[in-house]
Amino acid sequence: MVDHPARRLCGRLLLILLACASWSAATDNKQAVPTLRWMESQPGCTFTQADDGKYRYGLWSDDFGVVVAVDAQELEKARRRLEPLFAVLVTVHYRGKDSLAVKTDDISLELVKHYHDVHISLDPDVLLTTLQSDVDVLSKATAREERKHPEKKAELESVLQSQQKSVEEMREFLRTQSLRPATLDSSHPEASGWVLFSVKSKWIGDWKKQEEFVLRIPVANRIVEFPFALPPSAGDFLLRRRPED
């Protein structure tokens, strides 16, 4: 069948995401880590609604601040992507006198209404490497199909090019827009980028009418927690800016 290579690639992408998106509940024997939790109207906690359709939650201490941006329509967007992915934009600011290490491997997202299912952020470098391997596999599979069915070459090439374009767009996004580990200091006080989570598991079915999340970000030997809900509560809405002509 002419769509067999495409299905194979999509299947491989699913396995990648599931492998990278590990989830686990906290265990009793883990050492307790001090937690800073965002709470509305509390000192150091900020909240803004922007005309780009994003909610921004900020939590500030004496030496650093973390701002999380989440699209008000992220639930709908997550389901429309090639694989179910939930995206948040994380920005870490440092205003201390020494330095601050920004790590990305332990950022987690808890889906409160789905058995408190916890997902670890996807590693963009792992995805980049595996995506390139999958493109190579798809190209070879397409070449084999063309030798067997030369009359279907145009169809096969069309499918291949469409998949290559989708994968290349994903790879470019991962290369240029992902949050990366960094060391912040007075000369480099900010790190910003997107963090992706798989939202596909046996615990997650359809979205609830309103979903509740807890985003946890390790910063300076502390855990910064951002609880938020989507879609917004009644009476809480965003106005999106109309694109300029």
pLDDT value, residue 82: 64
C-beta of residue 197 within 8 angstroms of C-beta of residue 85: yes
pLDDT value, residue 164: 83
> Which residues make Cβ contacts (< 8 Å) with residue 173, sequence separation at least 6?
194
Residue 139: is its pLDDT beyond 50? yes
Residue in 52, 116, 113, 122 with CA at minimum distance from that of residue 84: 122
Decide which of 149 and 129 is more confident: 149
Highest mean pLDDT among 17-21, 77-81, 164-168, 181-185: 181-185
Residue 15: is its pLDDT beyond 80? no
pLDDT digits (tens, 9 = 90+) for 32-49: 788 999 998 899 999 998
Of the CA atoms within 13 Å of residue 12, those in its CB half-sphere come to 19
pLDDT value, residue 71: 93
**DSSP annotation of 185:** B
Of the CA atoms within 13 Å of residue 142, those in its CB half-sphere come to 23
pLDDT digits (tens, 9 = 90+) for 98-120: 999 999 989 999 999 998 999 99
Binning pLDDT at 50, 70 and 90, where does residue 27 land?
A: very low
Q: What is the mean pLDDT of residues 219-240?
A: 75
pLDDT digits (tens, 9 = 90+) for 189-222: 999 999 999 888 888 888 888 899 999 999 988 9
Decide which of 126 and 179 is more confident: 179
Decide which of 233 and 27 is more confident: 233
What pTM, to 2 d.p., does this model score?
A: 0.76
pLDDT value, residue 236: 52
Q: What is the CATH number of domain 25-122+179-230?
A: 2.60.40
Could you give the C-alpha distances from 36 to 45, 72, 88, 91, 164, in angstroms and in order?
10, 24, 19, 16, 43
C-beta of residue 44 within 8 angstroms of C-beta of residue 233: no
Residue 235: is its pLDDT beyond 70? no
pLDDT value, residue 137: 87
Q: Could you state, in order of their start, the residue ranges of all structural domains in the chain?
A: 25-122+179-230
Q: What is the Cα–Cα distance from 180 to 222, expressed in whole angstroms?
A: 19
pLDDT value, residue 133: 82
As a whole number, the mean pLDDT across the chain is 82
Instruction: Name the one residue in this structure whose structure tokens are 């509305």.
Output: 40
Q: What is the mean pLDDT of residues 89-94?
A: 97
